[in-house]
Amino acid sequence: MPTDIKVPSLGESVVEATVAKWYKKSGDSVVTDEPLLELETDKVTLEVPSPVTGKIEKISFKEGDTVTVGAVLGSIDETAASTQNIQSQKIETPQELKKQEEVSVVIEKDSEIKKEKKLSPSTRKIVAEKNIDLETITPHRNDGRITKKDFLNIDQSDIEVNTSKKEDRTDILDKEERIPMSRLRQTIAKRLKDAQNNAAILTTFNEVDMYDLIKTRNEHKESFEKKYGVKLGFMSFFVKACITALKDVPDVNAEIENNEVVYKNYYNIGVAVGTDQGLVVPVVKDADKKTLIEIEKEIFELGEKARSRKLNISDMQGGTFTISNGGVYGSLMSTPILNPPQSGVLGMHKIEERPIAVDGKVVIRPMMYLALSYDHRLVDGKGAVTFLVRVKESLEDPSRILLGV
């Protein structure tokens, strides 16, 4: 009896997905746990493994179809010997592929010759000179041959206008490419637009002197990587600095639910990660209870999972505040958009050397602009400015982060 390939549980509140890509086709041999297809939900993409070893007997949903949890995607025949099927699958050699291409060319040329034979010798020149679309011509002969007589009842101006329009449209189509939006991209677009429509988003800015933080990182990055197996970045320092600021300004860590304000006495920090499919935000949960080392390791692991499309729904749930680093792409300044229902998001940017005044002297320092976008319905201007000042103080004196003050 065939074994069904079913849509697995997709996580809390997620009930449907899109078939993004089939790795196998009907008749292919598979082994247990071998990836069969990729499903895309509103939040993540995930692979569906083969439940058994055998041969794919049936595929019930094609790429682009929407499926629900528990739906039968297809079936696998376990009675077929996997090894025999794999050996029996024909592997085309380069010589065979070349032969197929040659045959294809012959067929195409033969088709073109047949099409040309529908034109009488006297009409071929007219078609070439006027660039007439043969699809607009109805031959009067039974054998389908187009003769000069078939052109007599056609208005010349119509031919020129239609030809011009067709050429213009063809030229445009040659320069365009249309592909369907992925479910993840559709969700990102909807959430960003919803955030703009529902929240009173305002952004305030500050700048931070990164000199001491860069110095601290450079002094310890080699020994840190050697001991813990991950590189020491800036993000773990930013996470800790934001937690200090969130504790001082709890409104930024809260959210509006109906007519109530929900204050979160825990700190789950979302870290935006860019992937080939769009931006995803895995969450470092209970970040206030973790050390710099633990945070750095977790950020690295979540980033790797995001880029390899192995994030789980649980990896992206429960965030109370988000940090987005546009600086990795060279952004000098931006206004990040809220990740609903959160009330705040911090934008990091490119570190750039600039002249600033320090103790009455002009010096060159590595500076970064910080941007806090916040929901002005909940967070007022004083709170937003205070938040950024606290982040700035922590980053400009890394010992405060290490000591937790």
- Which of the listed residues 159, 180, 201 is the one where a domain comes to its end? 180
Mean pLDDT value of segment 16-32:
89
- CATH code for position 295: 3.30.559.10
> Which of 133, 156, 180 corresponds to the end of one domain?
180
- Are 248 and 377 part of one and the same domain? yes
- Which residue has 């960003």 as its token pair? 192
Contacts of 341 (CB under 8 A, 6+ apart): 255, 256, 257
Looking at the structure, tell me whether residues 280 and 344 fall in a common domain.
Answer: yes
Do 162 and 189 sit in the same domain of this protein?
Answer: no
Does residue 175 belong to any structural domain of this protein? yes
Do 259 and 383 fall within a single domain?
yes
Q: Is the pLDDT of residue 89 over 80?
A: no
Overall domain count for the chain: 3
Question: Do 352 and 310 lie in a common domain?
Answer: yes
CATH number, position 10: 2.40.50.100
**Based on the domain organization, do 82 and 196 belong to the same domain?**
no
pLDDT of residue 118: 59
b/e per residue, 363-399, with b = 16+ CB within 10 A?
eebebbbbbbbbbbebbeeebbebbbebbbebbeebe
Set 77, 248, 376, 397: catalytic member? 376
Mean pLDDT, range 299-323, rounded to an integer: 88
Residue 335 clears pLDDT 80, i.e. is over it: yes
pLDDT of 61 above 50? yes
Q: Tell me whether residue 140 is one of the annotated catalytic residues.
A: no
Lowest mean pLDDT among 304-308, 346-350, 373-377, 398-402: 398-402
Q: Tell which of 64, 88, 112 closes a domain.
A: 88
In a domain, residue 73? The reply is yes
Please tell me the distance from the alpha carbon of residue 349 to that of residue 276, in angstroms, as a whole number.
Answer: 21
Expressed as residue numbers, the domain containing 327 is 183-403
- Distance from chain centroid for Cα 226: 33
Total residues belonging to the chain: 405
Q: Do both 82 and 195 map to the same domain?
A: no
pLDDT level of residue 117 (50, 70, 90 thresholds): very low
* pLDDT score, position 13: 62
pTM of the model: 0.63
Query: 305: which 2 tokens?
Result: 């999972």
Q: Specify the higher pLDDT residue, 254 or 118.
A: 254
Let me know if residue 93 belongs to a domain: no
My answer on whether 190 and 316 are in the same domain is yes
Q: Per residue in 94-110, pLDDT tens?
A: 555 555 555 444 444 44
Residue of 77, 288, 380, 397 marked catalytic: 380
- Dist CA 280 CA 339 (whole Å): 11
Q: Give yes or no for residue 111 having a pLDDT over 70.
A: no
What are the C-alpha distances in Å from 206 to residues 20, 45, 326, 370, 400? 42, 36, 15, 5, 19
* 282 and 214 within one domain: yes
CB atoms within 10 A of CB 68: 10
380 is catalytic: yes
Largest Cα–Cα distance of the chain, in whole Å?
Answer: 97
